[in-house]
Amino acid sequence: MREYPENAFKKGYKSVYVHQISIVDTKRNKGYGSSLMECIYDIANDRGIDLIELDYWFENSVAKDFYKKQNFIKV
């Protein structure tokens, strides 16, 4: 969980920050990543947080495609 205080330029807000997730190669494309993200969405929802932030290595096309399927947008 991250909490950003209000400042002169924007209101304060909270987010759930996903630093990294990893699914072993032999278990990919079986729904484990999506299930994990559902748990993260539930945690955020239970805490009244409507923003999930994440990052991944720029060259990680597997992560990029996965998060795109999860409807994340680049900011």
Torsion of CA 24, 25, 30, 34, to 10 degrees: 60
Total Cβ atoms within 10 A of residue 67: 20
- CA dihedral (42, 70, 27, 20) positive or negative: negative
Low-confidence residues in the chain, pLDDT < 50: none
- Residue 74's pLDDT is what? 85
d(CA 47, CA 10): 21
- Residue 75's pLDDT is what? 83
- Residue 50's pLDDT is what? 94
